[in-house]
A and B are shown apart, each in its own frame.
Chain A
Amino acid sequence: AQSVTQLDSQVPVFEEAPVELRCNYSSSVSVYLFWYVQYPNQGLQLLLKYLSGSTLVKGINGFEAEFNKSQTSFHLRKPSVHISDTAEYFCAVSDRWNNFNKFYFGSGTKLNVKP
């Protein structure tokens, strides 16, 4: 089974500053990687995903993430954040288990963008 670690439970940052949200997982064998965002009082929505190919993945709202197989990481980055990026971000990993791809989620990182 996989485990997903998001080391930072909360990340405060000023508007227009860059941000990196870290995600590490336990095994790199046949994984798919996802970042989801949860705005206050809303459901989760997909930011971006890595299935194969280029290790740099671009998503919605200017976010991008880089798959690093040797470090088993999939950190999320944005060069300049906005107030509207304030939300909770979840990293998820999917691997082949029991004939379906089970999603394993991290505990989430709350991004608080300050003016």
Chain B
Amino acid sequence: ELKVEQNPLFLSMQEGKNYTIYCNYSTTSDRLYWYRQDPGKSLESLFVLLSNGAVKQEGRLMASLDTKARLSTLHITAAVHDLSATYFCAVDSLRGAQKLVFGQGTRLTINP
């Protein structure tokens, strides 16, 4: 059974600092997704990583994928308050199955 684990689950940081959220998964997969959820809102797709070594960046967020280590990271550079949200990673359960397995989510709070 595929398991997806995020670390940390809660993160409080100051504006201007850098930090990284980690996403580990238990079985082979080369497709990983990052979503953002604001309080009381829906999930919004941030990044789709489709191969080993894939790196994508949007503003202060950068996501990468290492399929050999079964690890993805979401790096936040010079955090700003607007990035406060819960971030989820998700992995394809089985190629062709069209089902994603989500991590527990990382609740990120950025303080002024």
A and B co-occur in one complex: no
Interface of B toward A, CB cutoff 8 Å: none
A residues whose Cβ falls under 8 Å from a Cβ of B: none
